Amino acid sequence: MSPGDSADTIAAYTSACAFFGERLATVTDLDWERPTPCEGWDVRTLVAHVVTGEALVAQVLGGSGSWDADVDPSVLGLNPMAAWRGTALAALDAASGDGVLDAIHPHAAGDLPGGVIVGFRVTDNLVHGWDLARACGADVELPDGLADLCLDFWLPLAGSDGMGAHFDGPVMPPDGASPGVRLLSFLGRTP
């Protein structure tokens, strides 16, 4: 998520993917059409968004694609967990390549270092893992260390067009809030 910290960045990405995967493993057949905290998205669309993001990371960081993020729930196929697992592993593998995090890659927000693209993915997995749990009626706390990393990543972008295009406006977290609650609040969620 920052230049020169490749091992830490990959570890954060791996942990965030695992967090999302743990939430996905609890989704039942009755949950797929439930609304999520993401306006207009049901559980199927949210999971398709994460799967699409991982597939794009694998392609872009692997040098074989451009950033085209149309979300089509059919990418989940008959086994959404297998679709997610395959794309997450491919994205982690691509991100782990020599020099990939420092190299510049195409992205919808412009040409960016791989570490910044992975920073987006860490946040996406973490926050959408929370969205998924919430949609399915579960309460889950974000891991403090990952939430702190994501806050450090996003705070310099506060108020930017990029944030406004992807997140609702920040809400005030309660006094003494955990890093996870502060991150969710910063990204427009009400925990």
Kindly state the average pLDDT of the residues 70-84: 92
Q: The domain containing residue 37 runs over which residues?
A: 6-141
Is residue 126 in some structural domain?
yes
| pLDDT tens per residue across span 28-48 | 999 999 999 998 999 999 999
Take residue 76 and report the two structure tokens written for it. 């989940």
Higher per-residue pLDDT: 135 or 155: 135
Residue 127 domain-assigned (yes or no)? yes
**95 belongs to a structural domain:** yes
Looking at the domain assignment, is residue 173 inside a domain?
no
- The answer as to whether 168 is a domain residue is no
Domain assignment of residue 180, yes or no: no
Counted residue by residue, the chain has a size of 191
pTM above 0.85, yes or no: yes
What rounded mean pLDDT belongs to the chain? 90
**Residue 178: count of CB within 10 angstroms of its CB:** 17
Query: Residues 79-90: pLDDT tens digits?
Result: 999 999 999 999
CATH for 26: 1.20.120.450
Rg value, the chain, Cα = 16
Mean pLDDT of 9-28: 97
Domain count, the chain: 1
What percent of the chain is modeled with pLDDT above 70?
Answer: 90
Domain membership of residue 150 (yes or no) is: no
Identify whether 153 is part of a domain. Answer: no
